[in-house]
Amino acid sequence: MKRASLRNASWTLAAAALVSVTGLLVGCKKEVKELKIGYITEQTGAESYIAASSTPALEDRIAEINAAGGINGYKLKLVAYDTRSEVPDAVSVTKRMIDQDKCVAIIGPSWSAAGIPIAQIANTSKVPIVATTASNVNVTISEAGQLHPYMFRVCFIDPYQGYALADFAYKKMNAKKAAFLTDVSSPYTVGVHKFFESHFKELGGEILVNEGYNQGDTEFRAQLSKIKNAKPDLLVSAAYTYKDAGLIAQQMDALGLKVPFMGADGWYVDDLLTMAGPKLEGAVCTNGASTEAPEVQQFNKDFEAKHKVKPTIYTYYGLDALMLIEHGIKQATTKNPKIEAAALPTAIRDEIENATDVQLFSSKMTMEKDTHNPHNKPILIMQIKGSKWNLLETFDPAKQ
Amino acid sequence: MDLFIQQLINGVSIGAIYSLLAVGYALVYSVYNFTNWAFDGFMAFGAFMGFTAIASMSMPFWAAATVSMILTIVLSVGVEKLAYQPLRVRKAPRLFMMISAMGVNLAIVNTINKLYTGTLRRFPIPDSWTQTITIGQASIGQMDIVAAIIAFILLAILWIFLYKTKWGLGVRASSIDILTSSLMGINNNAVAFIIFATTGVLSSVAGVFFGIKYAVYPLMGGPVTIKAMIASIVGGLGSLPAAVVGSMILGVLETMVSGYISSSYRDLFAFAFLIVILLFFPNGLMGKETGEKL
């Protein structure tokens, strides 16, 4: 009796196992396919505020999409890796995302020095990459003038910024003699300054001195003393990291160098104001999106309440890039629902290239097919007043 | 001429910060013959402790500076007990001590980064302290003067301690030969405590003043500690007055290169200077014969 019940029990077990295995197999068939999206970001190091303020936003957005059933049956997954703001790390995480994780599209990087080598990886591995704030021209177009077919960006490019700043400085701030303090290790700063110089000279202005520094420097007084001696009407330093702008402003004050100070969108991080707000009174910079805009206030409040971090422009640019990739996935899988996994990255690329009036987080966007830059993205010219960002005017390239 | 004076002032104020750290390197090197690469972390730790004491606990500056100093001493002595002493006791090669120091440094800096994030913070001192004094055409920040004076007072106290007290004699004896001196009855553990406690004080003061002069952030120690290291080698590793001289030379050289040649060449000159000095003075400008340098 005992033996029989044991045998019965084992049969029951075997049957249960069979049922569960079949169940698993059936489950596999029904399982929703998952697409991985890479995010090249800065989780540690001096720029770790970038990941801190953007990764949670991307994860929230992806959780929302997945909760609503995904895109045409595809669920999304974010794969974020740290670059430590080092180009070699950025290159190796990109390769890892493509070779090991098989990401169908990648968001980032946030800076041009990494964007330029990564564009090559995008081309050879045929995976679309959407840079967030890498604004040097050569990120999407090679030095030889060739378009990188798999590299895109959602920000405006340095010539726009340089041009807009020079225009504003000469016409509105009445500056005729400018001095530069250039981060010579940053293609971004060098690029903005180059285009500032060419438009500023075209208008009749002159550049008195061009002083340099290197990434990571904290001491600028030697250069600032020299600049003070040259007596310019304006100091331009389109620093990539807000740290430089804050330190330069502090040291200008310490040296008694009282001239208007101007930078570009690298400055636009709220921490700059807490760090050196009063020293930057009246300083001017540019931006593509504003954390002060009324339409993002609700988002900012919810985001800060949930994640205990203030959103930065990297939050908005990250979301813009993600939404552009979403658009690509949606179009590609709608047009061809049975698309093979291997063909997906290229199909997404084609859709991103043809994006027209797609609603992204910060604005509607049309991709320029010949440059892979957003078409006519307006530039906001901001001024720091009372330790707050203040919108001075919107510079619209379409109207120039 | 005005520009020259301004650049000289800039150079000396940088040299003062370098000298605090360079003396710390020299002190550890003179007794233990290894380079304490964890300085960078100690300095950031000191600055963050001072920052937290003021920003979160609203302590007055001098109380916060003292708290920072005590905590940095605890950290420095703790690191010595946990990471360096066991290696010394087991007679590990000195290279291992240096690598251990690098590991400690990474651990400290990354922990700070994780706890405080990489954001830059202004060291919370009253605005009236940050005013500048103008002499002719040259300007200098009040805090720069205070920092330089405190650095020199601290170094003078250290010098008196080392050369005029019995404990200092013990440290100096250990720096000649640690084994023999312990045979002569000098307490090795007490010497280690004195050296690493002093290192803690120096790096805390350097960290707090660097934080005031620039900003407080986890990677703040990186470039400046390397420069201080160069300064202590240029002066002559193992000698305290030499470390101060090396720091002043380096600080002034850097600003003069930035001011009169080009700031892009500043580091090139700093390192080329190191190489040239070592070619002609293998033990640094004022150094004693030390043999191998790590």
CATH number at residue A205: 3.40.50.2300
pLDDT for B121 = 84
Interchain CB distance below 8 Å, A216 and B14: no
A276 and A301: one domain? Answer: no
Residue B198 lies in a domain: yes
pLDDT band at A321 (very low <50, low <70, confident <90, very high): very high
Which of A242, A254, A276 is the closest to B139 by Cβ?
Answer: A254
Residue A351 lies in a domain: yes
Q: What is the mean pLDDT of chain B?
A: 84
A358 and A384: one domain? Answer: no
Interchain CB distance below 8 Å, A274 and B259: no
Interface of B with A in 74-93 (CB under 8 A): none
Contacts of B214 in chain A (CB under 8 A): 218-219, 247, 250
Residue B192 lies in a domain: yes
Q: How close does chain B come to A94, measured CA to CA in Å?
A: 23
A259 and A215: one domain? Answer: yes
Interchain CB distance below 8 Å, B217 and A243: yes
pLDDT band at A400 (very low <50, low <70, confident <90, very high): low
A260 and A309: one domain? Answer: no
A255 and A265: one domain? Answer: yes
Residue B254 lies in a domain: no
Q: How close does chain A come to B175, measured CA to CA in Å?
A: 34
Other beta carbons within 10 angstroms of residue A303's beta carbon come to 19
A265 and A388: one domain? Answer: yes
Q: How close does chain A come to B167, measured CA to CA in Å?
A: 38
User: Could you report the per-residue pLDDT of A102-140, keeping only the tens digit for each?
Assistant: 999 999 899 888 999 999 999 999 999 999 988 888 999
Q: Does A250 touch chain B (CB under 8 A)?
A: yes
A187 and A224: one domain? Answer: yes
pLDDT for B210 = 87
What's chain A look like in SS3?
CHHHHHHHHHHHHHHHHHHHHHHHHHHHHHCCEEEEEEEEECCCCCCCHHHHHHHHHHHHHHHHHHHCCCECCEEEEEEEEECCCCHHHHHHHHHHHHHCCCCCEEECCCCHHHHHHHHHHHHHHCCCEEECCCCCHHHCECCCCCECCCEEECCCCHHHHHHHHHHHHHHCCCCCEEEEEEECCCHHHHHHHHHHHHHHHHHCCEEEEEEEECCCCCCCHHHHHHHHHHCCCEEECCCCCHHHHHHHHHHHHHHCCCCCEECCHHHCCHHHHHHHHHHHCCCEEEECCCCCCHHHHHHHHHHHHHHCCCCCHHHHHHHHHHHHHHHHHHHHHHHCCCCCHHHHHHHHHHHHHCCCCEECCCCEECECCCCCCECCCCEEEEEEECCEEEEEEEECHHHC
A348 and A391: one domain? Answer: no
Contacts of B262 in chain A (CB under 8 A): 211-212
Rounded to an integer, the average pLDDT of A44-59 is 89
Interchain CB distance below 8 Å, B127 and A278: yes
> Based on the structure, what is the number of domains in chain B?
1
Backbone angles phi, psi at B119, to 5 degrees: -55, 145
Q: Does A211 touch chain B (CB under 8 A)?
A: yes
Residue A390 lies in a domain: yes
Residue A8 lies in a domain: no
Residue B6 lies in a domain: no
Other beta carbons within 10 angstroms of residue B193's beta carbon come to 16
Residue B160 lies in a domain: yes
Interchain CB distance below 8 Å, B117 and A48: yes
Q: How close does chain A come to B29, measured CA to CA in Å?
A: 27
Residue A384: domain span: 158-287+380-399
Q: What is the mean pLDDT of chain A?
A: 87
Residue A372 lies in a domain: no
Residue B183 lies in a domain: yes
Residue A18 lies in a domain: no
Distances B273 to A114, A289, A332, B282 between C-alpha atoms, Å:
32, 46, 60, 13
Interchain CB distance below 8 Å, B141 and A214: no
Residue A335 lies in a domain: yes
Please check the confidence at residue B290 and state whether its pLDDT lies above 70. no
Rounded to an integer, the average pLDDT of A144-168 is 89
A150 and A162: one domain? Answer: no
pLDDT for A350 = 94
Residue A58 lies in a domain: yes
Contacts of A216 in chain B (CB under 8 A): 219, 222-223
Q: How big is chain B, counted in residues?
A: 294
> Based on the structure, what is the number of domains in chain A?
2
Q: Does A255 touch chain B (CB under 8 A)?
A: yes
Which residue is closest to B8 within chain A, CA to CA? A222
A74 and A108: one domain? Answer: yes
Which of B118, B119, B134 is the closest to A256 by Cβ?
Answer: B134
Rounded to an integer, the average pLDDT of A188-196 is 90
Interface of A with B in 272-311 (CB under 8 A): 274-276, 278
CATH number for position B152? 1.10.3470.10
Residue B35: domain span: 14-123+136-221
Q: Which residue is listed with tokens 């380079």?
A: B35
Please check the confidence at residue A311 and state whether its pLDDT lies above 60. yes
Q: Does A36 touch chain B (CB under 8 A)?
A: no
* Higher-pLDDT residue of B227, A3: B227
Residue A5 lies in a domain: no
Which of B113, B132, B255 is the closest to A48 by Cβ?
Answer: B113
Contacts of B110 in chain A (CB under 8 A): 44
pLDDT for A92 = 94
Q: Does B223 touch chain A (CB under 8 A)?
A: yes
Global pTM reads: 0.72
Please check the confidence at residue A155 and state whether its pLDDT lies above 50. yes
